[in-house]
Structure 1
């Protein structure tokens, strides 16, 4: 056991020493690994930030039906009956203008909204929540049908954009999965090629080691440690690139959101996410290194 620990410690020491002796070559490899890992990680954080906002939005499209001031009880009852029987409607609620004024006063925090006005300017309205599986054409048809009813002043179709945004996020998650798979394969190939070059430069040394009885595990060990160290450092560099980019972009994003009366900021990575990135890059590097060493040991030795 002590001998095994000593061999691993020696391999790790030689790996670090080689990286210190040749900082340029290893630095370029680390930069390639960091960029390859930073792109999907940043895309993931962007999707997470947008998803956190859309989770608070109503995904089901809503229709606001504003009534004319002269709308009578018969016209209101007709609209209520229509909405109750329509299969495209999930829920409908009548909001009287007095109730709407109270809600507005509660949100604004002021009871003087009618100062200088002789009467309540808000109209009676129906707030209609449609079914989530209703198509855009069906919603447009419902909007047109409601707009033609007696006593209706205006009809607005709301929250359809939230449904579209949810579908765009689903598309983004699918694209992220494809990007992760492609870059994972690319990262393993990059590492395998770098290890292959190291094997070729140390071929004479490996041949001598094989002649004096070195096992494949002994020969493979320093290359695996090199791949693991590069993967770990490359993952940390990728997280550093992403954090720097988010810090640089966040002020502009926050200012843009505030211009629309919203509060929004890009999500910064947490310790678990940083650990996951480092673990994935390390494992992918180990896979690429193991395949490269296995192939060359089998082919030349």
Structure 2
């Protein structure tokens, strides 16, 4: 193995500019791949956030018994489409109002709990469930009215909101995959050109090795190792550049988006995300190196 590694390293040292060219393209490919992975992750997290964040508020009529409210709350908690059901009493509603108007205490002193209705607040597991949940709650006799807290639009625009978010996410995924695919094809072509030049340079050497009884694996190994060195270098450098860039920008990004978990907020979560990306890219790099080597090996057979 060490002999094959030395041979492959010798090929690289004899043609440093060719090695730099293929390494640069592979680095660019895996840098863009890492960025695309992060964008897909972030867009998916954003979509999930806006699907589950909006809150539905069912305002209860003033003459309703506590048992009736508890019964409705229990039925909502049993619904698989609904989560985080919470009962807010009149006193709690007043407290929330006073906290929201803490910069002007006079506003809080002018109201009493009696003017605030009790309510049941809950979220849905998917924004597409919201319209059905609102209609069901509106049909309850103890419910006076239903409110919907969604920054992207009101009750009438739910379908449009979810449709736009999913469209943007799909565009990011399709566009990113297409761009990465084009770069991967470019990398494969350049890898084939470089290793193909090795085949031409080794034609006589291959014939001599064949005459003295060298195995096919012995002849092919330096080419496979050389392609692997290029892809490993490209994966590591491309991933490292993207990781350092995101690590540098993540405080600003996380601060800008606030509660939206567009990126992991803790260092461990960020390392896990990029660790998974690195593993995927090593696997993709191995396939790329193997594909380039197989095509090159077929040329070795012709040279023999």
TM over 0.5: yes
From 275, 279, 294, the counterpart of 1:276:
279
**What is the DSSP-based 3-state SS (H/G/I as helix, E as strand, rest coil) of the residue aligned with 2:29?**
helix
Aligned length: 284
2:155 match: none
Q: Distance between the aligned counterparts of 1:263 and 1:215, measured in 2?
A: 55
SS at match of 1:155: strand
Structure 1 residue runs without a partner (length 5+): 1-7
Q: What residue number does 1:231 align with? A: 231
Q: 1:18 to 1:175 in 2, by over 3 A?
A: same
Partner Cα distance (1:60, 1:196) in 2: 55
Shift of 1:217: 2.0
Kept after mapping to 2: 8 A contact 1:45/1:269: no
5 Å matches for 1:70-109?
72-73=62-63, 94-102=87-95
The unaligned stretches of length 5 or more in structure 2 are 152-157
TM-score relative to the length of structure 2 = 0.65
Contact 1:191 1:288 (C-alpha < 8 Å) held by counterparts: no
TM-score by length of 1: 0.66
Tell me how large the CA RMSD over aligned residues is.
5.1
Task: State which of 107, 119, 124 in structure 2 corresponds to 1:125.
Answer: 119
1:1-301 map, 5 Å: 8-49=1-42, 59=52, 62-66=55-59, 72-73=62-63, 94-102=87-95, 117-120=109-112, 122-129=116-123, 132=126, 138=132, 151-152=144-145, 155-158=147-150, 171=170, 175=174, 182=181, 186=185, 187-247=187-247, 249-258=249-258, 265=263, 268-270=270-272, 272-273=275-276, 275-277=278-280, 279-301=282-304
Q: Check conservation: 2:50, 2:127, Cα contact below 8 A.
A: no
SS at match of 1:73: coil
- How far apart are the structure 1 equivalents of 2:247 and 2:82? 43
Q: 1:94 to 1:212 in 2, by over 3 A?
A: closer
